[in-house]
Amino acid sequence: MKSNKKKNLLYIFIYLIIFIILCYIIYKYSSYNKNVKYDNFQVNKENNNNKETNNINISLGILSYNAPDTLEQTLSTYKNSSLLDISNDVFAILQKSDKQDKEAQVCEKYNIRYIKLPDNGKMASGFKAIYENAKNEIIVFLENDFVNYSTKQETINFFNNSIYFIKEQNKDLIRARSRKNAGEPNFGIQLFSNIPQHEFGNHTHLSECIYWIDNPELVYPEKIKKIKPLIGNDDWYTSSSKNCNWTNNALVTSKTFFKNAILPDLLTGSDDIENTFTSIWAQKDYKCVFGPGLFTHERLDGH
């Protein structure tokens, strides 16, 4: 009897130890999942608020030509939205113009590096220069007339989600023009919003419908899919490049994708790279993403 009693006590003791160990493991796992580190930002899943730990590893390349006033306004909004502090690599490509030196002075005022090009090769050479001078693998391609009126938190969320979609979900390109505040002109709305929905479904510019349709995944379920972001509750969508035209508007992609899919066709001699690339993209099946965006088109001077 005493022997059985001792055995029972031993079993109880062992079970208790196992129970304590399991409770500890569950506790540590729960704590880990509440605070997930992602690309130098700490994301709190409970309230979707981010606590900065370092600058995010994303390059912002701004292409500028002959427009110091526009560049000044744009960089001012980047400062006000903390974008200049969030990214660890912000720089400008200054194409040759009579106002190139003034644009350089604007860059110095906001303490961002700049590269003066010896000529004006327009969009093709400008995008190539952004690619060549970016320090990070993930790049935001911008022109000097895309301001940022989003909040600091919206900016952090957008960049983290963009990196997540590219690195973890194998998406190729993220549209970065603001959906709620796109700015003028918005040629997507002007040129395509009056096309009947049943005729627009196979269009190369189908993704532009996010600017006038609230739930595009319900209207075009075979072409546009809703996807879940890493952070926040904004609406994000994905579509094939067959239905997501190339645009020079603000975009996010990786150096690897740019090198393999964009660079080979970039310097073809055509000034109109939007139409050139749209026809090429319609034959491909690149994975494009579009969501809340960040940047608003707003120009003060220049072309």
Q: What is the model's pTM?
A: 0.81
Give the span between the Cα atoms of 45 and 144, in whole angstroms.
Answer: 34
pLDDT in tens, the chain (303 residues): 545 555 566 666 666 677 666 666 555 444 433 333 334 433 333 333 434 334 799 999 999 999 999 999 999 999 999 999 999 999 999 999 999 999 999 999 999 999 999 988 778 889 999 999 999 999 999 999 999 999 999 999 999 999 999 999 999 999 999 999 999 999 999 999 999 999 999 999 999 999 999 999 999 999 999 999 999 999 999 999 999 999 999 999 999 999 999 988 876 656 678 888 888 889 999 999 999 999 999 988 766
Asked if 206 and 192 count as a contact pair (C-beta separation under 8 A), the reply is no
- The Cβ of residue 7 has, within 10 Å, a number of other Cβ atoms equal to 10
Q: 146-148 and 113-116 as β-strands: parallel, antiparallel, unpaired?
A: unpaired
From residue 147, give the alpha-carbon distance in Å to each of 90, 93, 257, 274, 291.
14, 16, 25, 21, 17
Q: Name the architecture of domain 50-167.
A: Alpha-Beta Complex (3.90)
| Residues whose CB is less than 8 angstroms from the CB of residue 175 and which lie 6 or more positions away in sequence, other chains included | 207, 244, 247, 249, 250, 251, 288, 289, 290, 291, 293
